[in-house]
Structure 1
């Protein structure tokens, strides 16, 4: 089963990280990523750029309104993610507990990633997506 580990932190937690040597952060995360790779569970992992560089598309009106980031409330920003292929939610939780650098002001949300097999297979759009996934080596 695929699970997404969504890393979130408060503004204060990000500010505290500013004092940590960047090479130290990269080495610590690299060692954790290597553990995930050696365990055969890592499918993807990415960090995100500063929220102030992003935009928000609000679909509450027509046409949708685009505003510069960060989002309205920045109490907990989504800073990056991992996608793991593990046997259970409990295993995903165990990996999340081991995330390096996480401390006060950091949280990891864990959500199962649904698969195409969970949708009605007789739907023509699902069939198109399945064909695309097969053609691109994603199935």
Structure 2
């Protein structure tokens, strides 16, 4: 099962505050644990929302809203994509993540859809097309 662990933004991360050397070292050790356990598929930190944009769709049309965005609790500061056996295992890994000594930090854990989750609507033809795209992405990364 794949899970995305989403690190929520804080007022500090949105203000552009970067982690100190100690927290960066702790995060490096945590990331190394994830890699050595063979569960991490990807993981990155994100710049604050003032460097981002949102694309909104309504009635078949799109519009773009440039950051910054005001609802800090709804913003993402970083993520890990992991592959583990259960949600409980994903939670245990998330609980190991280093946190700033002061203030509050929140993470969200969400399971990633797999092909079998879509049922009969995900026809063999659609499944084959999806597998071709995944193979193409993998080839580009080699």
Normalized against structure 2, the TM-score is what?
Answer: 0.79
SS at match of 1:71: coil
State the alpha-carbon separation in 2 of the partners of residues 136 and 20 from structure 1.
32
Q: Is the 8 A contact 2:7 2:107 kept in 1?
A: yes
In structure 1, runs of 5+ residues without a counterpart are none
State the alpha-carbon separation in 1 of the partners of residues 130 and 14 from structure 2.
42
Residue 114 of structure 2 corresponds to residue 115 of structure 1: yes
Of 34, 40, 43, which residue of structure 2 is paired with 1:42?
Answer: 40
SS at match of 1:106: coil
Normalized against structure 1, the TM-score is what?
Answer: 0.81
Paired positions, count: 136
State the alpha-carbon separation in 2 of the partners of residues 7 and 86 from structure 1.
18
Other-structure match for 2:49: 51
State the alpha-carbon separation in 1 of the partners of residues 16 and 98 from structure 2.
12
Other-structure match for 1:14: 13
Q: Is the 8 A contact 1:56 1:71 kept in 2?
A: no
State the alpha-carbon separation in 2 of the partners of residues 69 and 31 from structure 1.
32
Other-structure match for 1:124: 125
> Deviation string for 1:69-116 (max 9, x for gaps)?
122422342101011111111111011111112564211100111112
State the alpha-carbon separation in 2 of the partners of residues 17 and 122 from structure 1.
45
Distance 1:17-1:25 versus aligned 2 partners, 3 A rule: farther
